[in-house]
Amino acid sequence: MPGFSSSYSPLFLALFMVIAAAVSYYFYRNTAVEKNKKALLIALKTAAIFILLALFIEPVLSYLTGNSSSRKDIVLIDISRSNTLEGKQEQIDRVIKEAGLFNSESDVFGFSSAVIVLKDADSISYNGYSTDLVTSLRSIKENFPDGSYNSVTLLSDGIFTDGSNPVYEAMTFNAPFVIFPVGDTAEKKDIILKSIVRNEKAFTGTPVKIRVFLTINKAGTESTVIKLQREGSEIRSHLLNFEPGKTNYEAEFEVTENAPGKIKYRITVENIPGELTYKNNHNDLFITFIDNKVNILVVSGGPGYDNEFTGSVLKRIGNYNITYRTQKSAGDFYEGPIDYRQFAELSTLFML
């Protein structure tokens, strides 16, 4: 005979049976049916409730009595470049050493604009260009979709340059947050090149806008110059005058390339005296330019007015690369033979 096994103790099974029988009796106690039929209904309902209790109570009990040792403690370390200033890096290193973060069972991550795994203290590199805690917290939730973490420990100077308010994202975690603040969060005199917006790909011969967003703190009524360099050579500049009480500024440049390729640009903001750091006054960007030429082959049966009219219209459009072939005789053209290998690169074929 097949055996019966259960993860429940006999005491739990007996308790489930008593509960199921009591509920069934209560449900049918006033039902006007024959005594034998009522007993059968109570027995069937008791069996059904007993099975449901056995199926659904076990996960709850496992969760309530489960061992939390398999759950991780998450550690997030701010690796943005601002932590190399005013001794913040040394403070973070001291906290890591004293708390033994890499010697515990914690999962340690570095965060800036994204999250990276840190294996040990030597793998920490403070080279992030921004501090986006919201995106980092969302990445943690994606890595641990079952919420298998006991706590989240955060080491940061508290200066978040990107993303929304991290408080709202932190509230979605079913775990406490432990904060180790480092440095002084008071604003210092500084120019921060916050972000650059542009298209990563563009067509040749088409103007491309580059928008620069700056945060300028405690600068008073001074001014600075924003420069745009192309492959190391300055090609544009913009004078920016500071306004009292204003911290957010933007500037716009426009570039055009006539040849395809990947071009490196650099945005540089001139230093002003007394800045906290000059490390955040420049940033590089790349734009890949794609050939925008439309290759057209115009084949006509002979010289005529149609050829002249069509050519005069097409030549007015700068990004048309036009090849003419005017027939002199069968298989012979005034401009030379047709290279049929170029047909794969043609956009349009005109036959007049």
Are residues 143 and 117 part of one domain? yes
pLDDT in tens, 126-156: 888 778 888 888 888 888 877 777 888 888 8
pLDDT of the residue at 1: 43
| Selection from 244, 248, 208, 210 nearest residue 227 by Cα | 210
Are residues 255 and 218 part of one domain? yes
Are residues 174 and 80 part of one domain? yes
Let me know if residue 239 belongs to a domain: yes
Q: Name the pTM for this structure.
A: 0.49
Domain boundary residue, one of 149, 181, 213: 181
pLDDT of the residue at 7: 57
Domain boundary residue, one of 290, 319, 341: 290
Domain boundary residue, one of 272, 290, 308: 290
Average per-residue pLDDT in the chain?
82
Are residues 267 and 177 part of one domain? no
Let me know if residue 94 belongs to a domain: yes
Are residues 270 and 208 part of one domain? yes
pLDDT in tens, 316-336: 666 677 888 888 888 888 888
Q: Which domain holds residue 319?
A: 294-351
Are residues 322 and 300 part of one domain? yes
Let me know if residue 2 belongs to a domain: no
pLDDT of the residue at 2: 47
Q: What percent of the chain shows pLDDT beyond 90?
A: 17
Region for 123 from its dihedrals, namely left if φ exceeds 0, alpha if ψ lies in -120 to 50, beta otherwise: alpha
Average pLDDT over residues 212-221: 86
Are residues 167 and 85 part of one domain? yes
Higher-scoring residue by pLDDT: 262, 174: 262
Let me know if residue 160 belongs to a domain: yes
pLDDT of the residue at 261: 92
Tell whether the model's pLDDT for residue 260 goes beyond 70. yes
pLDDT in tens, 50-72: 888 777 776 665 555 544 455 67
- Per DSSP (E only), the strands in the chain are 72-78, 107-111, 115-117, 149-156, 177-181, 190-197, 201-203, 208-217, 223-230, 233-241, 248-255, 261-269, 282-290, 294-300, 320-329, 332-333, 348-351
Range scoring the smallest mean pLDDT among 90-104, 225-239, 254-268: 90-104
CATH number assigned to the domain comprising residue 204:
2.60.40.10
Q: In the chain, how many domains are there? A: 4
pLDDT in tens, 1-42: 444 455 566 777 788 888 888 888 888 887 777 888 888 888
Are residues 152 and 57 part of one domain? no
Average pLDDT over residues 172-185: 81
Higher-scoring residue by pLDDT: 215, 184: 215
Contact by Cβ (8 Å): 299, 327: yes
Contact by Cβ (8 Å): 28, 42: yes
CATH number assigned to the domain comprising residue 133:
3.40.50.410
